[in-house]
């Protein structure tokens, strides 16, 4: 599972590889993280970071627990012409497509379905390739799997000094689109036609599918108090040692990839980064 945000610490190396004797260099938490931790406690966190370095790497296989289905019944395929783009956006789009191909998130195809793409700005200044699935969504049967209420989650949360938030790296792309439905995800642009092998943003039932996946994961954490909402998980513990154990247990129960997290934070801020 994704445990920590890569930017939370500087480059470091290990001289020894045991929990007791490991020596660290240039480890530094963010200012808002681990304010009340001792040097020894911070050292133990750094050990956990090193052992889970693979969590920070992009790509990887999709989760085996679930696949995304797109039930359009017997409705005929939907095809739409691509949107026009200026030269600057074309270059950005090309880069986005090349990256998605490299990560095995999409592939070229010949599909009777085709939806246009748009480039959506992200809070960090980058852009995300999104497909306008409005017409496909209009003929897709609704998945009624419930999303948790944010006020209920906040009521469940017990104030504690030992709390970490875990946000998953490109969470939707960790879910495979069922083989029979991959053609329905096809999008068209000036560079060709592509379809998603992993679940994209914008599909009608994508939030429900991902919440189901998160709930399956959370149900396996029998000894960990964790709250979940879409691509976010909050782990709360009564003591430092229990919190460290809970984070280790969470990681060993899954193979999620991580993008943004807060380690031993004193403020719980869980803002979903995935929307329907």
Please state, in angstroms and rounded to a whole number, the distance separating the CA atoms of residues 108 and 191: 10
pLDDT band at 273 (very low <50, low <70, confident <90, very high): very low
| Tokens linked to 180 | 């029979």
- The reported pLDDT for the residue numbered 177 is 98
User: What is the rounded distance in angstroms from the CA atom of residue 226 to the CA atom of residue 250?
Assistant: 9
- Residue owning tokens 């600057």: 88
Helix, strand, or coil (residue 159): coil
What pLDDT score was predicted for residue 63?
78
Q: Give percent of the chain with pLDDT exceeding 90.
A: 37
Q: Which residues contact 154 (CB under 8 A, 6 or more apart)?
A: none
Q: Is 260 helix (H, G, I), strand (E, B) or coil?
A: strand
Residue 117 in this model has a pLDDT that exceeds 70: yes
Select, from the ranges 12-16, 229-233, 253-257, the one with the highest average predicted confidence (pLDDT): 229-233
Q: Cα angle at 207 between 206 and 212, to 5 degrees?
A: 100
Q: Which two tokens stand for residue 74?
A: 């017997």
pLDDT at position 141: 98
Over residues 151-168, the pLDDT tens digits come to 766 666 666 778 777 766
pTM over 0.85: no
* Cα(12)–Cα(23) distance, integer angstroms: 10
Residues ≥6 apart with Cβ < 8 Å to 86: none
Residues 46, 41: Cα–Cα separation, whole Å: 9
The neighbour count for residue 126, using CB atoms within 10 Å, is 11
Please tell me the predicted confidence (pLDDT) of residue 19. Answer: 34
Work out the mean pLDDT of the chain and round it to a whole number. Answer: 75
């Amino acid at each position: 599972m994704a445990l920590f945000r890569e930017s939370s610490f500087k480059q470091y190396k290990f001289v020894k590889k045991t929990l007791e004797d490991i020596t660290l260099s240039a480890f530094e938490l963010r200012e808002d993280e681990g304010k009340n931790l001792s040097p020894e406690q911070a050292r133990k966190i750094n050990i956990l970071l090193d052992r889970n370095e693979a969590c920070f790497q992009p790509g990887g296989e999709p989760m085996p627990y679930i696949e995304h289905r797109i039930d359009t019944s017997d409705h005929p395929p939907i095809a739409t012409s691509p949107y026009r783009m200026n030269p600057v956006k074309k270059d950005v789009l090309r880069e986005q497509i090349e990256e998605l191909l490299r990560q095995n998130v999409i592939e070229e195809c010949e599909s009777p379905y085709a939806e246009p793409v748009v480039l959506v700005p992200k809070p960090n200044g980058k852009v995300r390739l999104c497909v306008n699935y409005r017409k496909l969504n209009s003929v897709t049967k609704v998945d009624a799997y419930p999303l948790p209420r944010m006020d209920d989650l906040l009521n469940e949360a017990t104030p504690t000094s030992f709390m970490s938030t875990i946000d998953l790296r490109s969470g939707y792309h960790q879910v495979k689109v069922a083989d029979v439905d991959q053609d329905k995800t096809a999008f068209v642009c000036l560079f060709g036609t592509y379809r998603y092998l992993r679940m994209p943003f914008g599909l009608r039932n994508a939030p429900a599918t991902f919440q189901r996946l998160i709930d399956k994961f959370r149900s396996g954490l029998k000894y960990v108090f964790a709250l979940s909402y879409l691509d976010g998980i909050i782990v709360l513990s009564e003591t430092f040692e229990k919190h460290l154990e809970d984070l280790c247990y969470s990681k060993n129960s899954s193979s999620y990839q991580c993008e943004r997290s807060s380690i031993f934070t004193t403020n719980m801020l869980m803002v979903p980064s995935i929307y329907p």
